[in-house]
Amino acid sequence: MFFGYNTNGFAHHRLGDCVGILADQGYRGIALTPDVHHLNPFEPDFPARMAEFAEMLAEKDLCCVVETGARFLLNAHFKHQPTLVSKMPDDRDDRFEFLSEDCVGLAKTLSADCVSFWSGAATDDAAPSEVMDRLVEQCVRLADFAAARGVKLAFEPEPGMFLDTMDKFAELHGRVNRPNFGLTVDIGHLVCQGDVPVSDQLMKWKDWLWNVHIEDMRPGVHDHLMFGDGGVDFADVFAGLRSAGYDRGVYVELSRHSHDAVATARRSLEFLKAMGG
């Protein structure tokens, strides 16, 4: 188990500066969120910049996961749209193409541990069963695409989106039923949604747990908080991670702290090392 940081928490930094700062502070992993300002896959120089980023990781001996939660990358007007559960097939295809050609392709080039993604929110009045059918279809399609390229997928339940709880994830996981389709656990999300104790969830899903996000959060409120400002029982969290034998990255996700990114990253690592070793 090692600690990393999501580049969405360095929104006002150049990507190379972000990598250098985090490596110098002692982080061992980068959760890369391709975005309008960080390795934008829609820019013409993307292949060259992707190769340059791979060299940065190798030089600093950093592990990597690919995150896919950029807010306005696919639609400048509407946050996190379109999605895998959008009403129109063409919209679902747009999200699929981004996740597959861009993000899975990037993960393969970087030898990333996984691609992490979520369902998105449905914007029509379809029945939940219909929305779940859409999501299952797209996840199976994406898992098969990724498997052919040797890439793992880690699905993240997200408050405010269609698939937000661990019970819903259990249904999705059973229906997708692919060996490369695993789980991203966001520690704060579990607390927000009442999926506690966190250690119980970590143990239950230990065989499919491929990515962990961490921050503080309060029950019922989806607000990523600095460590110590919420209600997460971090002693329970790290006991659960150790009991589960988790040996991958634990990535800080504090995108709203980008205005103070350097100090926030330093304080976060100090806290995590004190709690988790």
Percent of the chain with pLDDT over 90: 99
Question: CA 93, CA 29: separation in Å to the nearest integer?
Answer: 31
Residues 6 or more apart whose CB falls under 8 angstroms from that of 95 comprise 74, 82, 83, 84, 86, 120, 138
Residue 25 Cα to chain centre, angstroms: 22
Q: What is the pLDDT of residue 224?
A: 97
Report the C-alpha gap between 25 and 18 in whole angstroms.
11
How high is the pLDDT of residue 277? 66
60 by Cβ neighbours in 10 Å (0-12 / 13-18 / 19+) ranks as: middle
User: Per the structure, how many domains does the chain have?
Assistant: 1
DSSP state of 148: T
Domain that holds residue 12: 2-276
* Separation CA 239–CA 235 (nearest Å): 6
Mean pLDDT, each 10-residue run in order, the chain (277 residues): 98 97 98 97 95 97 98 97 97 98 97 98 96 98 98 98 98 98 98 97 98 98 97 97 98 97 98 87
**Which backbone phi and psi does 196 adopt, to 5 degrees?**
-130, 160
User: Virtual CA dihedral for 97, 48, 8, 66, nearest 10 degrees?
Assistant: 50
pLDDT tens-place string over residues 154-189: 999 999 999 999 999 999 999 999 999 999 999 999
CATH number at residue 19: 3.20.20.150
Three-state DSSP class for 130?
Answer: helix
